[in-house]
Amino acid sequence: MDRKIISAAAILGFVAIILGAFGAHALKKVLDVEQLVSFETGVRYQMYHALFLLFLGSTKLVSDKTKKNIYYLVLSGVLLFSGSIYLLATRNITNVDFSVIGFITPIGGLLMIIAWALLFLNILKGKA
């Protein structure tokens, strides 16, 4: 499981770097400031959670069952949170109205919050 978690961390980090560079260079010319800031928020949270998974896959402080749960919460959260932000921020250039998916952004955020809380509670209990 640790190899899977660290691999996912590497992919999330890799994609976050690419999207960050894309936003800073290509999208800067076509998005307004508010959309660019929003896009950058998605990238930042994706990278935070890539680092979170990197830690998770490297630690022995958390049980394997909890690692698995956190892993799925983080992946789902990043997909919903950052993914929806990317779509919403770029809707002017895609000409697709993604505003109907705006409600999934906070759901993704909640999943990421639950993942962090689960990490905290598992470490607090000391049941690794």
Q: How many other β-carbons are positioned within 10 Å of the β-carbon of residue 21?
A: 12
Inter-residue contact 9 to 51 (CB < 8 Å) = yes
Q: What is the pLDDT of residues 76-120, one digit of tens each?
A: 999 999 999 999 999 888 888 887 888 999 999 999 999 999 999
User: Is the pLDDT reported for residue 47 higher than 80?
Assistant: yes
Extract the tokens encoding 66: 């909890």
Whole-structure pTM value:
0.91
Evaluate whether 56 touches 71 at the Cβ level (below 8 Å): yes
Could you tell me where the DSSP H helices lie in the chain? 2-25, 33-58, 64-89, 91-94, 104-125
pLDDT above 90 for 7:
yes
Is pLDDT at 128 greater than 80 in this prediction? no
Residue 72 confidence (pLDDT): 98
pLDDT value at 57 more than 70: yes
Residue 43 in this model has a pLDDT that exceeds 90? yes
Q: Would you tell me the crossing angle of helices 64-89 and 33-58 to the nearest 10 degrees?
A: 170
Q: How many whole angstroms separate alpha carbon 70 and alpha carbon 17?
A: 23
Would you list the domain boundaries of the chain? 2-125
Q: What is the mean pLDDT of residues 37-49?
A: 96
